[in-house]
Amino acid sequence: QVYLVESGGGVVQPGRSLRLACAASGFTFSSYGMHWVRQAPGKGLEWVGVIWYDGSNKYYGDAVKGRFTISRDNSKNTLHLQMNSLRVEDTAVYYCARGFCDSINCHNLLDQWGQGTLVTVSS
C-alpha cells in the first residue's frame, strides 16, 4: 500500500518562508518522479512542480518559479517543498503526488496522492 503523508502546513505571514515535507512509504521512492500540486480554497488543481527520481531535474509552474524549490532525500524517502517570499495567493492545500511509471518508462501523470496540508498566507 502506497502512503504519502504531507506535513509542515500552517499560517504564515506574507513574505515569509515555509517548508513542507512529504513522507513516502509502500513503494521504491527512489524510482519515481514526485510532484507537488496545490488547490486554493474552493478552486481547482494547480500543478506546482516536479523533481525527477534522482533529483537531477526539476520543473516548476509559472506562478512559483523562482520562489519555490523542490528537493528530495531518497535515503529518507522524503520529498520537500521550500516556499519563499510567500504571497496571499499561495494559500492552498498542498498535495504531494507520485509520478506514474509503467514497465517501460515514467510519465508526469499522478497515480498516488497524499491527503494534503493546508498553507495559509495571511497577515
Partner 1 sequence: DIVMTQSPDSLAVSLGERATINCKSSQNILYSSINKNYIAWYQQKPGQSPKLLIYWASTRESGVPDRFSGSGSGTDFTLTISSLQAADVAVYYCQQYYSSPYTFGQGTKLEIK
> 122 is written with which cell numbers?
495571511
Site string for partner 1, 69-98 (x = CB under 8 A): --------------------------x---
**Of 74, 84, 100, 101, which one interacts with partner 1 (CB under 8 A)?**
100
Q: What gap in Å lies between CA 123 and CA 106, rounded to an integer?
A: 41
**Of 56, 62, 75, 123, which one interacts with partner 1 (CB under 8 A)?**
62
Give yes or no for residue 25 binding partner 1 (CB under 8 A): no
Give yes or no for residue 36 binding partner 1 (CB under 8 A): no
Which CB, 27 or 47, lies closer to partner 1? Answer: 47
Which CB, 71 or 115, lies closer to partner 1? Answer: 115
Strand pairing class (10-12; 117-121): parallel
Give yes or no for residue 60 binding partner 1 (CB under 8 A): yes
Q: What gap in Å lies between CA 17 and CA 6, rounded to an integer?
A: 17
Which CB, 24 or 114, lies closer to partner 1? Answer: 114
Residues near partner 1 (CB under 8 A) are 35, 37, 44-47, 50, 59-62, 95, 100, 107-111, 113-116
